């Protein structure tokens, strides 16, 4: 359990309730208070991991570089870009990418990329090497594989912050068994530092923090 939040993520009061928040243009109808926008852990797996006190290793600050896989319409990656430096947002589907563009509009260091996270060579000419963090939330089959394929972008002391959706791997199996397989497969390229079920906010999801080995 950690009380260390990335610089730029703060606990803030919204309607008398304390919530995590970042500073930036609102993106998904979240409550705001001046410059601050609430980070909804029910809409964001990374938000849930932070709310649960996981030690993500994210530090925040203009120098921090992030590769975000599965950006969808930008809910989570917009918060990441609020606190980090250059942030590469990879999304596969054109329709959510339309909304991602809007979220990226007011964030000069958020770079949208329409690409398949299973094919890193299609964006390795754009995304720089030695990023400080990879945040992954692709909800597709082969989530460990995607993380392994993208390890080439990560700095030796960088962090993988991964949300695994059990149902994307196999709807018929026990989530616990799926999670174990994913953690196993990850050891091919990563050392798992911490993992935790996110069920309080996202049913049958596991949060994992790992570093390259």
Partner 1 sequence: MTADSPAETGWFAELEPDDSEGAAAAITEGTAAEPADWPKLAVEAGFASDAEEYYDRLKEATTAATRDAVERAERADDRQLVHAVRTMDDCTRTANELAERLAEWAGTIDPDAGAGVEYARAIAGEDAERDVGHERVRSLAERVVSLADEAEDLREYVERETPTVAPNLAALADPVLAARLISLAGGLEPLAKKPSGTVQVLGAEDALFAHLRGHASSPKHGIIYTHDAVRGTHPDERGSAARAVAGKLAIAARVDHYSGERKPELEAELAERIETIQSRTADGEGDENGGGGE
- Please report, for residues 18, 80, 145, 151, the alpha-carbon distance to residue 76 in angstroms, rounded to integers and kept in the order given: 19, 6, 22, 21
Question: Using CB distances below 5 to 8 A depending on partner kind, what does residue 112 bind out of partner 1, ligand SAM, none?
Answer: partner 1
Question: Using CB distances below 5 to 8 A depending on partner kind, what does residue 16 bind out of ligand SAM, partner 1, none?
Answer: none
Question: Using CB distances below 5 to 8 A depending on partner kind, what does residue 15 bind out of ligand SAM, partner 1, none?
Answer: none
Phi then psi for residue 207, to 5 deg, are -100, 135
Q: How far is the CB of 210 from ligand SAM (least distance, A)?
A: 18
Q: How far is the CB of 141 from partner 1 (least distance, A)?
A: 5
Q: How far is the CB of 212 from ligand SAM (least distance, A)?
A: 20
- Looking from the CA of 107 toward its CB, the CA atoms found within 13 Å total 30
Question: Using CB distances below 5 to 8 A depending on partner kind, what does residue 26 bind out of ligand SAM, partner 1, none?
Answer: none
Give the nearer residue to ligand SAM in terms of CB position, either 3 or 80: 80
Give the nearer residue to ligand SAM in terms of CB position, either 60 or 96: 96
Applying CB under 8 A, the residues found at the interface with partner 1 are 72-73, 86, 92-98, 100-101, 104, 108-114, 121-122, 124-130, 139-141, 152-153, 167-168, 170-172
Q: What is the DSSP string of the chain?
A: ----PPTT-EEEEETTEEEEEEES---SS--EETTEEE--TTT-HHHHHHHTT-------BTT--EEEE--TTSHHHHHHHHHBSSEEEEE--HHHHHHHHHHHHT-TTEEEEE--TT-GGGTTTTSPSSEEEEEE---SS-HHHHHHHGGGGEEEEEEEEEEEEHHHH-TTS-HHHHHHHHHHHHTTTEEEEEEEE-TTTSTTEEEEEEEE-
Applying CB under 6 A, the residues found at the interface with ligand SAM are 44-45, 69-70, 72, 75-76, 90-93, 96, 116-118, 137-140
Give the nearer residue to partner 1 in terms of CB position, either 113 or 162: 113
Question: Using CB distances below 5 to 8 A depending on partner kind, what does residue 116 bind out of ligand SAM, partner 1, none?
Answer: ligand SAM
Q: How far is the CB of 146 from ligand SAM (least distance, A)?
A: 6
Q: How far is the CB of 107 from ligand SAM (least distance, A)?
A: 14
């Amino acid at each position: 359990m950690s009380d260390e939040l990335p610089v730029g993520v703060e606990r803030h009061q919204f309607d008398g309730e304390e919530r995590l928040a970042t500073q930036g243009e609102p993106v998904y109808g979240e409550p705001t208070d001046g410059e601050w926008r609430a980070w909804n852990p029910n809409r964001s797996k990374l938000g849930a991991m932070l709310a649960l006190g996981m030690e993500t290793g994210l530090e925040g600050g203009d120098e921090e570089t992030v590769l975000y896989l599965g950006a969808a319409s930008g809910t989570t990656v917009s918060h990441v870009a609020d606190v980090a430096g250059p942030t590469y947002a990879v999304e596969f589907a054109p329709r959510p990418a339309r909304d991602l563009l809007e979220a990226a509009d007011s964030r000069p260091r958020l770079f949208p990329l329409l690409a398949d996270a299973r094919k890193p060579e299609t964006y390795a000419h754009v995304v720089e090497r030695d990023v400080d963090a990879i945040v992954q939330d692709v909800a597709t089959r082969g989530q460990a594989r995607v993380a392994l394929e993208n390890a080439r972008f990560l700095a030796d002391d960088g962090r993988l912050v991964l949300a695994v959706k059990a149902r994307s791997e196999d709807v018929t199996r026990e989530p616990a068994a799926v999670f174990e397989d994913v953690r196993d497969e990850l050891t091919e390229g990563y050392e798992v530092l911490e993992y935790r079920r996110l069920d309080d906010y996202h049913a049958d999801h596991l949060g994992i923090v790992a570093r390259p080995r």
